[in-house]
């Protein structure tokens, strides 16, 4: 008989984890395990970027990392977990992916946040590619728009080109 992740979590988990984790009624691998306990809100973060936390013998820890370490191998301090289901209260390890690549501001370079940029070296004219962080691009664009009083949005600017015949 195959045991699901939620069953393993129930068997191995810390009592505080069990106190605040809300498991699905049926044992299904795709269901979220919802955290009803404390969430940390850093002043620099939006409410949607909050992380579930719990107190253990070692102090305050991330519940997602705690659950990941119970099921899989121990994470290094540099490794981060990325939520794939989109539910900020979900602590199911099956709904997270591990990543070790980040931009200089700490955003994970995986999935939709990774943009492969094509470029050409101006000296040798050789094409090459590099990775860009979409989140940093959005933040930079937002800062430019808010600080530049002359900025006027031009929707479909590329389509408005006219050619003389």
Quick one: 90 and 117 in the same domain? no
Q: For 140-154, b where at least 16 C-beta lie within 10 A, e where not — what string?
A: eeeeeeeeeeeeeee
Quick one: 40 and 88 in the same domain? yes
How confident is the model at residue 118, as a pLDDT? 87
Instruction: Give 92-139 pLDDT, tens digit per residue.
Output: 888 888 877 778 887 878 778 888 888 888 888 888 888 888 988 888
Quick one: 93 and 130 in the same domain? no
Quick one: 77 and 20 in the same domain? yes
Per the prediction, the chain carries an average pLDDT of 76
Instruction: Give 2-17 pLDDT, tens digit per residue.
Output: 556 666 565 556 666 7
Quick one: 29 and 91 in the same domain? yes
Q: Tell me if 104 is assigned to some domain.
A: no
Report how many domains make up the chain.
2
Q: Tell me if 163 is assigned to some domain.
A: no
pLDDT of 66 above 80 = yes
Distance CA(84)–CA(164), nearest Å, equals 49
Quick one: 50 and 119 in the same domain? no
Give the mean model confidence (pLDDT) for residues 27-48. 70
Of the pLDDT bands very low, low, confident and very high (cuts 50, 70, 90), residue 29 is: low
Quick one: 94 and 116 in the same domain? no
pLDDT of 1 above 50 = no
Give the mean model confidence (pLDDT) for residues 44-70. 78
Q: Tell me if 161 is assigned to some domain.
A: no
% residues pLDDT > 90 (the chain): 0
Give the mean model confidence (pLDDT) for residues 142-148. 80
In DSSP notation, the chain reads -PPPHHHHHHHH--HHHHHHEE--SS--TTS--EE-S-EE--TTS-GGG-EEEEEETTEEEEHHHHHHHHHSPPPPTT-EEEESS--TTB--GGGEEEE--B-TTS-B-SGGGEEEEEEE-TTT--EEEEEEEHHHHHHHHHHHHHH-TT----TTGGGG-----
How confident is the model at residue 13, as a pLDDT? 60
pLDDT of 67 above 70 = yes
Return contacts of 106-114, CB within 8 angstroms, 24+ apart.
Answer: 107/133, 107/135, 107/136, 108/80, 108/82, 109/133, 110/82, 111/82, 111/84
Residue of 96 and 26 predicted with greater confidence: 96
Quick one: 41 and 89 in the same domain? yes
Which residues, listed in sequence order, are joined to residue 132 by a DSSP beta bridge?
115
| Phi, psi torsion values for 160, nearest 5 degrees | -85, 0
Six-digit token string for 29: 């691998």
Contact 55, 67 (CB under 8 A): no
Range of the domain at 11: 5-99
pLDDT of 141 above 80 = yes
How confident is the model at residue 52, as a pLDDT? 87
How confident is the model at residue 140, as a pLDDT? 85
Final residue of a structural domain among 55, 72, 99:
99
pLDDT of 64 above 80 = yes
């Amino acid at each position: 008989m195959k045991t699901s992740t939620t069953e393993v979590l129930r068997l191995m988990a810390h009592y505080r984890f069990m106190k605040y984790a809300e498991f699905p009624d049926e044992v299904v691998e795709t269901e979220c395990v919802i955290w009803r306990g404390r969430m940390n809100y850093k002043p620099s973060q939006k409410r949607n970027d909050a992380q579930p936390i719990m107190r253990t013998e070692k102090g305050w820890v991330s519940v997602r990392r705690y659950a990941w370490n119970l099921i899989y191998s121990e994470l290094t301090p540099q490794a981060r977990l990325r939520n794939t289901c989109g539910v900020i209260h979900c602590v199911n390890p099956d709904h997270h992916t591990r990543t070790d690549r980040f931009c200089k501001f700490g955003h994970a370079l995986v999935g939709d946040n990774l943009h492969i940029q094509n470029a050409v070296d101006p000296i040798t004219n050789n094409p090459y590619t590099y990775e860009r962080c979409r989140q940093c691009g959005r933040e930079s664009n937002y800062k430019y728009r808010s600080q530049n009083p002359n900025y006027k949005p031009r929707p479909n600017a590329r389509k408005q080109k006219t050619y003389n015949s």
